[in-house]
Amino acid sequence: MLFGVHGVPAEPTHKRTIVFMDGQNLFYAAKEAFGYAYPNYEPLKLGNELCTAQGWDLARIHFYTGVPDRQDNPF
């Protein structure tokens, strides 16, 4: 590993990225921005677009969301 100024590792030229997505926050952001009433997004496509725009390689995606209470409407 090469070190730059003050012993801090130099920025790598090849960047691998792990994307973490919160399903509920993503759903509500898409709902507010576009008026969608149901989940209308593709996590893999979104992760690829984000990384491609920055010139990064997508290593993996972690998509997580809450589990609704039994009394709640699961949709």
Q: Is residue 23 part of a domain?
A: yes
Between 34 and 75, the more confident residue is 34
Q: Is residue 8 part of a domain?
A: no
Domain that holds residue 46: 14-64
- Could you give the number of structural domains in the chain? 1
Q: Rounded to whole angstroms, how far apart are CA atoms 30 and 42?
A: 11
Q: Is residue 6 part of a domain?
A: no
Q: So what's the pLDDT on residue 8?
A: 83
pTM to 2 decimals?
Answer: 0.68
Query: Tens digit of pLDDT for each residue in 21-69?
Result: 999 899 999 899 999 888 888 999 999 999 999 999 999 999 998 877 7
Q: Is residue 26 part of a domain?
A: yes
Which of 46, 47, 28 lies closest to 38, judged by CA? Answer: 28
Q: Is residue 33 part of a domain?
A: yes
